Amino acid sequence: GARFYNDHGHPEYSTPECATLFDLVAHDKAGERIVLAAARARSEQLDASRVHIFKNNTDFHGSSYGTHENYLIPRETPFAQLLSGLLPFFATRIIYAGAGKLGIEPRGDMGLYQLSQRADFFTEEASVDTLHRRPLVNTRDEPHTDPRDWRRLHVICGDANMSEYATALKIGTTYLVTSLLEQGWQPWVRLKKPTEAIKAIARDQSYKWLVEAETGTIGAVDIQRIFLAAAKDKLSGRGSDTDWTLREWERTLDALESDPLSLGDRLDWVAKRGLLADYVESEGIGWDDETVQSFDLAYSNVDPDEGLYYALEQAGEMVRLTDDAMVEAAMTQAPTNTRAALRGYLVGRFADAIGVVGWNKVVLRTDQESWMVDLDDYLTPEAVGQAMADLQAADTLED
């Protein structure tokens, strides 16, 4: 039910539609393994050469590529309402969602370790662009479903997380914030310059993360607590994903306020910083030594035999929300409660008859006939379940 394709010269994997946090984490990790399998197959073809895959956001030479999040938002929610609420949230979310990065781009202090890989590259508050003059809030609106009912919130300002916990917290908190904004709630805080704030937060070596708001100086943790308090007040009791997010959001903010470096078992920027600090100390070198940057890159190598993140995970030093069996299952099984289940089933059972496959539809063809399955008709778990039952009961494509 997912998509894996060549996007302007680099491999891109998109998870299937997911309705739960842990499903999303499992399918994100499944994507790493699918892309790694492709890299290994290509390495065998090349014989003497080896393809390596890194799940990061920068080449350290001024180029950046995103890890995108997508959320369905009711069309009736005014975009201006989303924009004003999301700017302070996105500018400060990196204190727990950042992947960590050595150096400032372009041509900045290469010995400075910052929280985020993407923060350097944002110059606009909002626009449709993704490659130049990147915005904190992207205005692209391709919902891949009925546009009369839904808007697609296309988020490009996040880092690629290796940590399962960081991925879940990033997605879970953003989902709760969009839910608040859909209800008409707005944070009272407004940042003077959001694009400057995210850079200042990312580079702040004091870990106080103070920024300028219209009402004065305020800390990033305090801004996040504004969103957390509203979510606890208005969204508590909505289900296990919400309960997990609220609990872990508060726990993480408390630790970030008291002892940020205690979160090395769950936040990427802290875990990576610990590895780099140990290397710098053991080798007696400076943070600007070029070999330190190679360790930064190695953290995001998706090969479990080579990646530094996976070395930590295998040593039991990273919190996991999935297990290997869940990830392996996600490589071949779509989530059962979204339309991805139908897409995955049709591709798996009728592969030879696939004419067109996309997010919205699947076209099946034989020599005599063709059929189109409109996946927009199956946007609820109940509709998906009934359609799956009908498909599994059919003996042939014609049935």
Cα–Cα distance for residue pair 119/366, rounded to 1 Å: 50
**In whole angstroms, what is the distance from residue 32 CA to residue 131 CA?**
23
CA dist 168 and 164 (Å) reads 6
Distance, in Å, from the CA atom of 180 to the CA atom of 30, rounded to the nearest integer, reads 30
Rounded Cα gap, residues 95 and 152, in angstroms: 25
Annotation marks residue 259 as catalytic: no
CB 106, CB 193: distance < 8 Å = no
Q: What is the largest distance, in Å, between two alpha-carbon atoms of the chain?
A: 72
Phi/psi for 15 (5° steps) reads -65, 160
Tell me if 350 sits within 8 A of 397, measured CB to CB. Answer: yes
Q: How far apart are CA 149 and CA 163, in angstroms?
A: 34
Angle between helices 240-258 and 220-235 (to 10 degrees): 160
| Burial class of 41 by CB neighbour count within 10 A (0 to 12, 13 to 18, 19+) | exposed
Catalytic residue of the set 7, 323, 324, 390: 7
Q: Cβ distance 187 to 88 under 8 Å? A: yes
Question: What does the alpha-carbon distance between residue 376 and residue 271 come to, in Å, rounded to a whole number?
Answer: 41
CB-count exposure of residue 232 (10 Å: 0-12, 13-18, 19+): middle
**Contact of 135 with 122, CB cutoff 8 Å:** yes
Q: What is the DSSP string of 16-67?
A: PP-SSHHHHHHHHHHHHHHHHHHHHHHHHHHSS-----B--SB-SSS-B---
Q: Nearest to residue 213, comparing CAs of 231, 202, 200?
A: 200
Name the nearest CA neighbour of 176 among 251, 228, 100, 110: 228
3-state helix, strand, coil in the chain (%, to 5): 45, 15, 40
Catalytic residues: 7
